[in-house]
Amino acid sequence: MKRRHGGTGAPGHGGDDARPLAMDRREAIEAMGLGWVAAYGVGSPTWERFRKLRGQGQPSRFFNETQLATVRVLADMVIPRDEKSGSATDAGSLEYMDFVLSESGDTTKQAWHDGLRWFDEECGRRFTQPFVQCDDTQRGAVLDDIAFPARARPELVAAAQFFNRVRDLTAAAFFSSRMGVEDLGYLGGVYVPTWEGAPDAALRELGVSYDEWDRRYGHPAPAPRARRPGR
């Protein structure tokens, strides 16, 4: 995942002014992300349907204003802006999350309403103010306590399980956006005129080499070995 909490430009999602990506590439990544999100009972509406509704100026359809503010903070704590790319909300993830949940069943909707209300109740108990009015340290302390269900105190397990849903849907929304695809460095079907083998930096990071392949298997690796000078 991109970076941060939970242990963990132009809007990325849709819009006629967004630079298009090949549909098969985007849908493949979207399917990977929303495949496991579906395990939580969250729907996986198509990208085309979302883009069509957003192009018609469709307003927020699931979150109320209080919930929207809470999810905005949570999403950007899960995937904050960094030197490589923007945050979850920069990518348009919030609008997509809202749309996905609006297409989900009543049980899932109620779970999200209850889960988001818990953040305000917990912060009210700890800090006498709602979640969005807490400072970064206070909000971070709450998320640290619910980052992983297996490590959470018994009374916080349900909240930790819900935060997993928030984190997973945020990641699925971000990494199916234009910004998220670029953050991954995913090239998809980009034409490569000459294959020169994997970059040396990537081989070093993995602790492998073409020479090791040759020694182990006694014949050249299937990838062409030609290297340009200095590579």
Domain boundaries, the chain: 23-184, 193-231
Residue whose tokens read 């309403």 = 113
CA angle 144, 148, 154 (to 5 degrees): 90
What is this structure's pTM?
0.63
CA angle 94, 10, 49 (to 5 degrees): 55
Q: What is the mean pLDDT of residues 100-118?
A: 93
Look at residue 2 and tell me whether its pLDDT is greater than 70.
no
Q: What is the mean pLDDT of residues 195-211?
A: 82
- Residue 219 has φ and ψ, to the nearest 5°, of -155, 160
Q: What is the mean pLDDT of residues 206-218?
A: 78
Tell me: the pLDDT tens digits for 40-49? 444 445 556 6
Q: What is the mean pLDDT of residues 117-129?
A: 97
Task: Count other Cβ atoms within 10 Å, centred on residue 56.
Answer: 7
The DSSP code for 89 is T
